[in-house]
Amino acid sequence: MGRFVFKLPDVGEGTAEAELVAWHVAVGDMVEEDQIVADIMTDKATVEITAPVSGKVLAIHGEPGQMVPVRGPLVEFEVEGAGNASDAEPTPTPVAKSEPAPVAVEAPKAEAAPVSPAPVGAAAGANYVFKLPDVGEGTAEAELVGWHVKVGDAVEEDQILADIMTDKATVEITSPINGVVVALHGDAGQQVPVGGPLVSFKVEGKGNVAATPAAAPAPAAKAEKAAPAPVAKPAAAPAPKADAKPVPAMTGRQPGERALASPAVRNRARDLGIDLAFVPGSGPAGRIQHEDLDAFVARGGSLPAATGGTASSTYARAEGTTETKIIGLRRKIAEKMAESVRRIPHITYVEEIDMTAVEELRAHLNATKSKDQPKLNVLPFIARAIVVALRDQPIINSHYDDEAGVLTQHAPVHLGIAAQTPNGLMVPVVRHAEALDPYATALEIARVSGAAKDGSAKREELSGSTITITSLGTLGGVVHTPIINHPEVAIVGPNKIAERVVVKDGQMVVRKMMNLSSSFDHRIVDGHDAAVFVQRIKGLLEHPATLWMN
């Protein structure tokens, strides 16, 4: 057997490092060649990294959110044959995967070592590792909602160990064996991968992993600290005894604590229109049972009076805070926005435009289009107005490298379309917008926006824009101050089209009006030139017959 060190490959964007978004493998996993091992995020896209060899994962380098250098070690494998690294060759200390549980990362021991290393997830004294089973929904991971056991508990087969939540339901996970809990892998709120370690037990007999020697006896306060990874979860609050069920004050849960209930109880509560956050639970660990729903309904949907209180209320005060680590695409968006605001002195210019003629033309084209032509919205007309206006002011169709002091002016118009996707804001690109008619423009906008939203967009479809449209018109809004997509020097933002009373030729008439909010890099575009550009767009849209002339 040999050791193979897989280094992060160059993903072809000239980047020196990439952000590690997520692991698809854990230490101890058997991996096939071309199997996905991790997701990394470059400046432009999320990329799946696949294994170059088949083998067993010995170590993983990095945690989600960390930056990994190109050609730096990513995964170490044990492979058949010689591998590409000698056992004596030093490697950087691997970092254990942090979610859903601390994982021991071990290099192969020398041949003289009398004891072989325990597989991943085996805590000291444990000889059986129970892994999260596939709950039958095709999900790769599930959220750990709460524990029903603690370290040191003696557990019977089929006893409930934990509640996990998938995309569709909360599921009770039961023990497959009798044994003593040695370690719990994960905290409430963490995502646990299917097939990842959930509970480590000490059982009678052989178990399913080689037991590691238990730590030497020590004071209770130090035993947990000295235990090797994964760290045993501290004991949870004991469940109330069956012979003493005091009525809880309010719900008996801490502010922000999630109510525990089975899927059947949750479904029934949903049918009754009851928010479980306001229902006290009388089951183990405050679990809400059907009897609790019956009692809640019998009280008319009110909580039992708090001890010493003067009145009951169905409303609870919200307290506490939630901290979320910003990683992946959300972090890239944050960095990009901060960079644009920090580096670009914005000037925003707003003008109102009479869109009545465009709307009449659009309605006519939609009524007379052929079956293979798309229905037009207003964006193809605005896109064309930008293309035509740039003929007179080509400097606005530029990238500015402020570090080098170089302005790069582009002949083609590669139009960025700011699109909201399930993963956050992305800017797919309509290339050579100057060469497209309204129907081709509409088709291409729909195609690249759809690809960005469903995650199928290629890297080249998400980069290279020379000027951007950001449209919030469908959500309403009178005006906004769009942020320039660095290193571009302008962004155009149409707002909603609404009927307004305006004065035209001395008469009060109702017209379809739209505000156009546009931002410019004031280092490149003077205020006068910004106004001229927007006024040119205004004139074209108010006389749309001129849009496709010449």
Please state the separation of Cα 448 from the chain's center in Å: 21
The answer to whether 407 and 441 are in contact (CB under 8 A) is no
Conformation bin of residue 55: beta by default, left when phi > 0, alpha when psi is -120 to 50: left
Taking alpha carbons only, the member of 75, 62, 77 closest to residue 20 is: 62
CA 459 from chain centre, in angstroms, equals: 18
Residues with Cβ within 8 Å of 50's Cβ and at least 6 positions away in sequence, in order, are 34, 35, 36, 37
DSSP 265: H
Pairing of strands 154-155, 191-193: unpaired
Q: Which of 87, 158, 526, 543 is catalytic?
A: 526
Exposed e or buried b per residue across 513-535, where buried means at least 16 C-beta atoms within 10 angstroms of its C-beta: bbbbbbbbbeebbeeeebbebbe
Rg over alpha carbons for the chain, rounded to the nearest Å, is: 31
Does the CA dihedral 247-249-251-255 come out positive or negative? negative
- What's phi and psi for 183, nearest 5 deg? -155, 145
Classify strands 17-23 and 36-41 as parallel, antiparallel or unpaired: antiparallel
**One-letter amino acid for residue 430 of the chain:** V
Task: Name the maximum alpha-carbon separation found in the chain.
Answer: 99
- Cα 112 to Cα 79, 116, 265, distances in angstroms: 20, 10, 57
Q: Is 537 helix (H, G, I), strand (E, B) or coil?
A: helix
The reply to whether 522 belongs to the active site is yes
Q: Which residues contact 101 (CB under 8 A, 6 or more apart)?
A: 121, 185, 186, 190, 192, 196, 197, 230
Q: Identify the helix (H) or strand (E) that includes residue 534.
A: helix 527-542
Residue type, 189: G
Task: Tell me, yes or no, if 167 is annotated catalytic.
Answer: no
Q: Which of 153, 402, 522, 529 is catalytic?
A: 522
Is it true that the peptide bond before 230 is cis, omega within 30 degrees of 0? yes
- CA separation, residue 479 to residues 211, 352, 533 (Å): 66, 10, 18
Q: Are 480 and 346 in contact (CB under 8 A)?
A: no
Residue 293 CB coordination number (10 Å): 19
Provide DSSP, 356-407: HHHHHHHHHHHHH--TTSPPP-SHHHHHHHHHHHHHH-GGGSEEEETTTTEE
CB-count exposure of residue 176 (10 Å: 0-12, 13-18, 19+): middle
| Structure tokens given for 268 | 């029934």
Question: Known catalytic residues?
Answer: 522, 526
